[in-house]
């Protein structure tokens, strides 16, 4: 599974100055990792708790790292808590992970700053991500929309999702909504402070 890597690849092609929030992307990436770990039977979701299972059989270093961070002591971690903890600065870490997908000639060009306009992502990863988005893969489509890098899917796009995937996606949307509210609160607070100074 490479949902998080595909999501990061889609974000990378939005350019150096994207109009989406990195914090939203980080939360969506953490949700993508959790869905992938469940698909790999590395975790089991019991209600809203993440239960560790087997070690993930994957060569994806980010998923291996994510699996190692699963809380193994009862009462275990909630999905919501996982999103906030694992998601911290996750978008930046995936940008680094994407560079490892570049073929060596492209990687060398990026290191020499000869291809600044091109996304630092391997073409095979980007191609797979784009294909999944084009065919309407429900998990990737919903996560990309939640992160603000794709249009919201149609109402019937939940078809084909299992209960765990729906639950994780709902928690991702809720966390992003909370983050947006916090950004708005801070913006209002800053604006009020600036207005106060302009009054003197």
pLDDT value of residue 122: 82
3-state helix, strand, coil in the chain (%, to 5): 60, 5, 30
pLDDT value of residue 113: 53
Q: Which domain covers residue 69, as residue numbers?
A: 3-198
What does the pLDDT look like over 86-100, one tens digit per residue? 999 999 999 989 988
What is the count of structural domains for the chain? Answer: 1
Q: What is the pTM of this model?
A: 0.85
- Kindly give the pairing relationship between strand 77-78 and strand 49-52: antiparallel
Axis-axis angle for helices 61-68, 90-99 (nearest 10)? 150
Report the C-alpha gap between 34 and 83 in whole angstroms. 9
pLDDT under 70 in the chain at which residues? 15-19, 103-119, 156-157, 191-200
DSSP state of 135: T
Q: How many residues does the chain have?
A: 200
């Amino acid at each position: 599974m490479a949902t998080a890597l595909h999501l990061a690849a889609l974000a990378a092609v939005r350019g150096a100055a994207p109009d989406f929030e990195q914090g939203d992307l980080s939360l969506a990436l953490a949700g993508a990792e959790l869905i992938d770990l469940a698909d790999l039977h590395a975790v089991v979701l019991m209600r809203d708790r993440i239960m560790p299972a087997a070690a993930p059989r994957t060569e994806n270093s980010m998923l291996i790292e994510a699996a190692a961070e699963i809380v193994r002591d009862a009462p275990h971690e909630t999905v919501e808590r996982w999103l906030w903890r694992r998601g911290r600065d996750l978008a930046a870490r995936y940008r680094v992970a994407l560079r490892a997908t570049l073929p060596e000639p492209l990687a060398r060009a990026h290191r020499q700053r000869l291809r600044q306009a091109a996304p630092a992502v391997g073409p095979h990863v980007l191609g797979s991500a784009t294909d999944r988005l084009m065919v309407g893969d429900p998990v990737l489509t919903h996560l990309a929309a939640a992160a603000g890098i794709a249009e919201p899917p149609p109402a019937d796009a939940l078809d084909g999702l299992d209960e765990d995937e729906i639950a994780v996606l709902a928690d991702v949307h809720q966390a992003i909504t909370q983050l947006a509210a916090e950004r708005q609160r801070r913006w209002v607070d800053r604006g009020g402070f600036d207005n106060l100074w302009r009054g003197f």
